[in-house]
Structure 1
Amino acid sequence: MTRPPTAAQRRVIDAADPVTGRLRGTQAQLAALVVRGLAFRHPRPPHDFFLTPAGHRIREAAPEPPGAAEAAPKAAGAGGVFAARVGGEEEPAAGPSRAREVHSAWQGLLELRRMTNPDGAADRPCGWERTHLVRAAALALEAAGHRAAGPDGDGYRVRATPQPDAVGVRGPDDETLRACAATLKGAGWQVGEHTDSRTRDRYLLASPRRV
């Protein structure tokens, strides 16, 4: 069994950028993570280090410290870890700061595509998005200016589905669904419109395009 990272290595992993996986640490720490298959050095200048999929899994499997669950909503609204709005959660403070966070996260995701897709393509989803379907689809929608549903408001809602490679997107009307479909297609997703057999509501089923 592979030995777990040391405490110092774990701190470097936990401090990685939540979207791109960009790492900061001493050269010795970063090199050790590369040897263990938890990081890679980008071949182009400035040759920064980034988490591999294995490194991301270790980072996301970290047990939360006591009180983290209670503090999470406050952190997300007060400069904590960025999270795209999936719809239905408490709406974060709007304004220029939120717009900058969303823009920065989207640009970071495009860079991650360029770095990790075999052909360097930024027009289709990368491996990180395929393992974070809801967050990735929500980021594409929020970055394009779509409004997520508040606790009692209208807007899009992105949810996991029984299909392991697809998310469901719902909205208050057909116009919203069509706009969301166009955005996701432009972001490299395959999108189809469907009708719920029980409620007869229309919804989107979206999955990352592979080619």
Structure 2
Amino acid sequence: MTRPPTTAQRRVIDAADPVTGRLRGTEAQLVALVKRGLAFRHPRPPHDHFLTPAGHRIREAVPEVPAEPAPSAGGFTARVGGEEPQETPASGPARLREVHSAWQGLLELRRMTNPGGATDRPCGWERTHLVRAAALALEAAGHRPAGPDGDGYRVRATPQPEAVAVYGPDEETLRVCGDTLERAGWQAGAYTEPRTRMRYLLASPRRV
């Protein structure tokens, strides 16, 4: 039977980036995780270390406080739209770099965990973090999340399994957000809420 990670190794695993699985720790800790099959060293510079699927399973086995759509402490969180001003990440070049890095890390996670290394459809992590995953796809594509004025997209959870709702100020916003999600491996269709007559997208991760 495989020995569980040590307390120090577990702290490194638990502190991994929630989207990309990027690890931070001493060289000895990272090497030990690689030897145990819980991490891998990226072949391209800067040769960062990331969790393997086995490492992600260990990390996800710990019950977490629900973090959708609230930002997670200490880690990257895609903007879902409509955040309170104190919860809104700073914009500008630094934010763009963070979003790009998170999206590239998510594609790498797809490659590692999807059958056949497919990167054209969502992976297991996305299916358990639907709001954050859809929001990352939209923000990475350059769409603007809703601010205090309400202009922009808003991603929200729904009672339906494996489905999120995307709201926008107009049909054009919904159309372009739908196109982006389709390219990112989601299925999206436009619907009208019966009571409010508000238009929205219902989006689900594509399986094949």
What SS does the corresponding residue of 2:116 show, helix, strand or coil?
Answer: coil
Match of 1:81 among 68, 75, 79: 75
TM-score, normalised to structure 2, is 0.80
Question: Counterpart in 1 of 2:32?
Answer: 28
Question: 2:13 is matched by which residue type in structure 1?
Answer: I
* Aligned-residue identity in percent: 70
CA contact (8 A) 1:23 1:51 kept: no
Give me the whole-angstrom Cα distance separating, in 1, the residues matched to 2:146 and 2:126. Answer: 22
What SS does the corresponding residue of 1:56 show, helix, strand or coil?
Answer: helix
Question: Counterpart in 2 of 1:189?
Answer: 186
Give me the whole-angstrom Cα distance separating, in 2, the residues matched to 1:12 and 1:107. Answer: 21
What SS does the corresponding residue of 1:119 show, helix, strand or coil?
Answer: helix
Question: Counterpart in 1 of 2:60?
Answer: 57
Q: CA deviation at 1:62?
A: 5.4
Question: CA separation of 1:47/1:13 partners in 2, compared to 1, >3 Å: closer, same or farther?
Answer: closer
Question: CA separation of 1:139/1:43 partners in 2, compared to 1, >3 Å: closer, same or farther?
Answer: closer
Q: CA deviation at 1:124?
A: 0.9
Question: Counterpart in 1 of 2:152?
Answer: 155
Question: 1:83 is matched by which residue type in structure 2?
Answer: T
Question: CA separation of 1:49/1:84 partners in 2, compared to 1, >3 Å: closer, same or farther?
Answer: closer
Give me the whole-angstrom Cα distance separating, in 1, the residues matched to 2:170 and 2:183. Answer: 20
Deviations 1:112-163 (A, max 9, x none): 1111111111111111111110000000000011110123331100011001
Which 4+ runs in 1 deviate beyond 3 A? 2-6, 26-32, 40-49
Question: CA separation of 1:51/1:114 partners in 2, compared to 1, >3 Å: closer, same or farther?
Answer: closer
Once the two structures are superposed, the pairs formed by residues 15-164 of structure 1 within 5 Å of their partners are: 15-23=15-23, 25-32=29-36, 34=37, 39=38, 41=40, 50-52=51-53, 53-58=56-61, 61=63, 80-89=74-83, 90=85, 91-164=88-161
Question: CA separation of 1:98/1:48 partners in 2, compared to 1, >3 Å: closer, same or farther?
Answer: closer
Give me the whole-angstrom Cα distance separating, in 2, the residues matched to 1:54 and 1:113. Answer: 14
CA contact (8 A) 2:52 2:112 kept: no
Q: CA deviation at 1:48?
A: 5.2
Deviations 1:168-202 (A, max 9, x none): 00011111000100000010000111110110111
Runs (5+) with no aligned partner, structure 1: 64-68
Give me the whole-angstrom Cα distance separating, in 1, the residues matched to 2:168 and 2:140. Answer: 17
Q: How many residues align?
A: 193
CA contact (8 A) 1:42 1:115 kept: no
Give me the whole-angstrom Cα distance separating, in 2, the residues matched to 1:99 and 1:136. Answer: 17
Runs (5+) with no aligned partner, structure 2: none
Give me the whole-angstrom Cα distance separating, in 1, the residues matched to 2:151 and 2:166. Answer: 13
Give me the whole-angstrom Cα distance separating, in 1, the residues matched to 2:204 and 2:6. Answer: 37
The alignment's C-alpha RMSD in Å is 2.9
